[in-house]
Structure 1
């Protein structure tokens, strides 16, 4: 696929939180990562507002195992609260994704250089990402490295079909949809032979509005050209 990238992401723990379990202060991970979590990992590897990252497939390499821990969350009222968080243990995934240009951002049209961004994305994956990688939440450190999608033996390769029920797919933001609101998407994922094929965000039929939101604009008030900054640095150095 055009502008595609393949990589492996893994860590000791992951917490792809089921939002239904957060109401009482407890957290329970989904059994598989959400589309939004994988997209967030990819954007930590390489992010530009010019691009929209599309996650195509995820291959579950290790057995789905859970581990509960007693956690002391920050209690700003001064209490001594103990919560129970249930994590995925030793998660490892192969990811296949690609990028497309964000056509809802005409202000960034000059940055639509396909070859440049693809090469920078591949270098970022090889370097392990430009920013820290987290598997769902900050306490779950992740690691990224290049791979060939489908290579190696996965735990669920011989499992014909596995359903995971109703779960979050991801979040719609106004700079990607053109609508001035934040929305949540829901879907029903199915894993076949260890592989989850994600539907595209616009294919999700179950969409719920969360709140009104305006996209951030980039113009002369908050963007400076590199050449101008370098010239300014040179003048200060000569002075």
Structure 2
């Protein structure tokens, strides 16, 4: 597929939170990564508002293991509470993804150069991404590197099928859909011979509406030059 990238992402822990478990202040991870989590990783590798990353497949390379930890999360009212978070342990995934242009951003039509973005994304994978990589949550540091999807032995290559039931797929934002509302997507996840093939966002069977906000357009009137921003940040501080 055009504009496709393949990479391996791995780390000591991952937490792809099942939202049902957050009601009581606890967190329990899904057994496999969500579409939105992998899309966030692709965006941490390389992203511009001109493009939208589409996650095609993920391959589970290591056995699914969990580990619970006692956590003291900060409460909004101040102080700390006590909770148990259940993480995935020692994870590794191969990911196949591609990007498409965001046709709802006509203000960025001039930047639709597929070869430029594809080459930058591939170089970004080689250096481990442009931003820090996380597996679900901030405390789960991860690392990325290039790979050939399907290469090497996976933990579930000989397992015909595993059904994980209904899971959160991701969130559709107004700047990607053109609709002035956010949408929560759910789908039925199935792993076949260690590979999960994701539905495209528009093909998810269950969608729930949420409050949305408008899209911010980029034009000369609302963008600052580097010199103007520098002066605004350091004015009066004696910095030249």
Query: Structures share a fold, TM > 0.5?
Result: yes
Q: Determine helix, strand or coil for the equivalent of 2:220.
A: coil
- Contact 2:67–2:89 under 8 Å retained in 1: yes
Q: Where does residue 73 of structure 1 map in the other structure?
A: 73
TM-score, with length taken from structure 2: 0.92
Superposition pairs of residues 28-67 of structure 1, within 5 angstroms: 28-67=28-67
CA distance, structure 1, for counterparts of residue 222 and residue 168 of structure 2: 34
CA distance, structure 2, for counterparts of residue 128 and residue 52 of structure 1: 20
Give how far 1:157 is off.
Answer: 0.2
CA distance, structure 1, for counterparts of residue 212 and residue 43 of structure 2: 23
Deviations 1:179-201 (A, max 9, x none): 00011000001000000000100
Q: How many residue pairs end up in the alignment?
A: 230
Deviations 1:2-29 (A, max 9, x none): 0000000000000000000001100000
Deviations 1:120-158 (A, max 9, x none): 000000010000001000000010000000000000000
- Contact 2:161–2:192 under 8 Å retained in 1: yes
Q: Determine helix, strand or coil for the equivalent of 1:188.
A: strand
Give how far 1:118 is off.
Answer: 0.5
Q: CA RMSD in A?
A: 1.7
Q: Where does residue 96 of structure 1 map in the other structure?
A: 96
Give how far 1:77 is off.
Answer: 3.0
Superposition pairs of residues 178-217 of structure 1, within 5 angstroms: 178-217=178-217
Instruction: Name the CA shift for 1:119/1:130 in 2 (closer, same or farther; >3 Å).
Output: same
Q: Determine helix, strand or coil for the equivalent of 1:20.
A: helix
CA distance, structure 2, for counterparts of residue 76 and residue 193 of structure 1: 44
Q: Where does residue 162 of structure 1 map in the other structure?
A: 162
Give how far 1:221 is off.
Answer: 2.4
Q: Where does residue 236 of structure 1 map in the other structure?
A: none
CA distance, structure 1, for counterparts of residue 223 and residue 117 of structure 2: 19
Q: Determine helix, strand or coil for the equivalent of 2:165.
A: coil
Superposition pairs of residues 219-230 of structure 1, within 5 angstroms: 219-223=219-223
Deviates more, 1:153-162 or 1:213-222: 213-222
Give how far 1:75 is off.
Answer: 2.3
Deviates more, 1:89-98 or 1:204-213: 204-213
CA distance, structure 1, for counterparts of residue 77 and residue 223 of structure 2: 41
Q: Which runs of structure 1 show a deviation greater than 6 angstroms over 4 or more consecutive aligned residues?
A: none
CA distance, structure 1, for counterparts of residue 45 and residue 79 of structure 2: 38
> Is 1:3 equivalent to 2:6 in the alignment?
no
Give how far 1:61 is off.
Answer: 0.1
CA distance, structure 1, for counterparts of residue 78 and residue 173 of structure 2: 35
- Contact 2:174–2:212 under 8 Å retained in 1: no
Q: Where does residue 235 of structure 1 map in the other structure?
A: none
CA distance, structure 1, for counterparts of residue 15 and residue 147 of structure 2: 23
Q: Where does residue 233 of structure 1 map in the other structure?
A: none
